[in-house]
Amino acid sequence: MTTKKIYVTQPYLPPLEEFIPYLEDIWSSKLLTNGGPMHARLERELCDYLDVPEIALFNNGTIALLTALQALRITGEVITTPYSFVATAHSLLWNGIKPVFVDIDPQTLNLDPSKIEAAITPQTTAIMPVHCYGYPCDIELIQKIADNYNLRVIYDAAHAFGVRDSNGSILRHGDLSAISFHATKVFNTFEGGAIICPDPKTKQRINNLKNFGIVDEVTVVAPGINGKMSEVNAAFGLLQLQHIDTVIKLRSKVDKTYREKLKGVSGISLIHNASQEISNHAYFPILVESNYPLSRDELYDKLKRSDIYARRYFYPLISDLPMYRGLASAKPANLPVATLVSKKILCLPIYPTLSIEDVEIIVDIISRG
Ligand SMILES: *Cc1c(COP(=O)(O)O)cnc(C)c1O
């Protein structure tokens, strides 16, 4: 029994005194928002760190997703995954777009590219895949399908900060990628997000849209929204960026310990081979199989009784929620893999300050079954 509560995540906060000089700069400039100097610096530093051509900062990841869809004038139907956080599909509904759910791949838990073509109709305009848990989608195959059918690709890359494959950042793929800097994500600005885009012209359109569509004092070119990141959030991002390599290294140690110690536990499957690409260790998902002595929910409750708060990401499926379940594509029979996985999934606590002793306690509870 641990004496403290262990949650699935805990936000990383650098030493407070390191943040004070940034606040002093803001106080003396009196520039609080609307693309101030901290905002400009964070966009530059993130482009360098993430190795992407252009980035437009947002006040959160959901407004970034909404705006990405507006930027590309997406309408009609969009193919997406039911196995994600609700914001993925909500961003479609909020834009008056019909989500069409396609099942996931049992290995990667991402949209299964082999099932996309069957879901394309004359109304389909785009695909919105998710790099679930920061594991890259089958980027090449998705692009090939998109090219064949003249569809746009917008990645919900909320989990994928800093993830690379052998060709570099996975955030460079598709037409746009939207990312989240929410407190629960690997890189946080309290609340925040961004759109990664390929060229300055697209970024200009996104910048207009995130500022009410305003171009100058007398010119409004689109019905935009207020998606701007404030200077305090941007300043905090600059400070976080100084710590991010340490943060990911500490996460990777937790990941490695879980992996080693859970390897022999029968009935527990690990999803992902970490050596395949540069991971950010955002999540530590396990599958509780039918030969494990407890059901997934029994294990979840057992951990909870020891003050360990694992989470069932992603259960229930988005497609099972009341605003989606009436769609033809939302039927469980159309989504057998996602339906099964959502019943077996459990995300274990992982964050930079989680001690190896605590990881061992968690593994011990799981191993005893
Ligand atoms: C966190 C998250 C979002 C939303 O980001 P916010 O910054 O919280 O608005 C969208 N999609 C996925 C998959 C997420 O995990």
What secondary structure, in 3-state letters, does 279-326 show? CCCCCEEEEECCCCCCCHHHHHHHHHHCCEECECCCCCCHHHCCCCCC
pTM given for the model: 0.97
Q: What is the pLDDT of residue 167?
A: 82
Q: What is the pLDDT of residue 276?
A: 57
Angstrom distances, CA of residue 159 to CA of 82, 131, 271, 358: 16, 7, 16, 24
Q: Which atom of ligand 1 is nearest to the CA of 64?
A: 9
Q: Which residues pair with 6 in a beta bridge?
A: 308
Pocket of ligand 1, beta carbon within 6 A:
60-62, 84-85, 87-88, 130, 156, 158-159, 180, 182, 193
State in Å: Cα 215 to ligand 1 middle. 28
Any idea what DSSP says for residue 186? S
Instruction: Give 154: exposed, middle or buried? Use CB within 10 Å, 0-12, 13-18, 19+.
Output: buried
Name which residue sits closest to atom 6 of ligand 1, judged by CA: 61
State in Å: Cα 283 to ligand 1 middle. 14
Beta strands 308-309 and 268-270, pairing class:
unpaired
Domains with residue ranges and CATH for the chain: 16-102+109-239 (3.40.640.10), 244-368 (3.90.1150.10)
Q: What is the pLDDT of residue 277?
A: 67
How far, in Å, CA of 248 to CA of 351, rounded? 9
Q: Which atom of ligand 1 is nearest to the CA of 62?
A: 9
Q: Which atom of ligand 1 is nearest to the CA of 181?
A: 7
List, run by run, the mean pLDDT of 10-residue segments along the chain (369 residues): 82 97 98 98 98 98 98 98 98 98 96 98 98 95 98 98 91 97 98 98 98 97 97 98 97 95 95 71 97 98 97 98 98 98 98 97 96
How far, in Å, CA of 81 to CA of 144, rounded? 18
Q: What is the pLDDT of residue 67?
A: 98
Q: What is the pLDDT of residue 369?
A: 87
Give φ, ψ of 100 to 5 degrees. Answer: -120, 115
Q: What is the pLDDT of residue 197?
A: 97
String of b and e for 131-147 (b: at least 16 CB within 10 Å)?
bbbbbbbbbeebbebbe
Any idea what DSSP says for residue 92? H
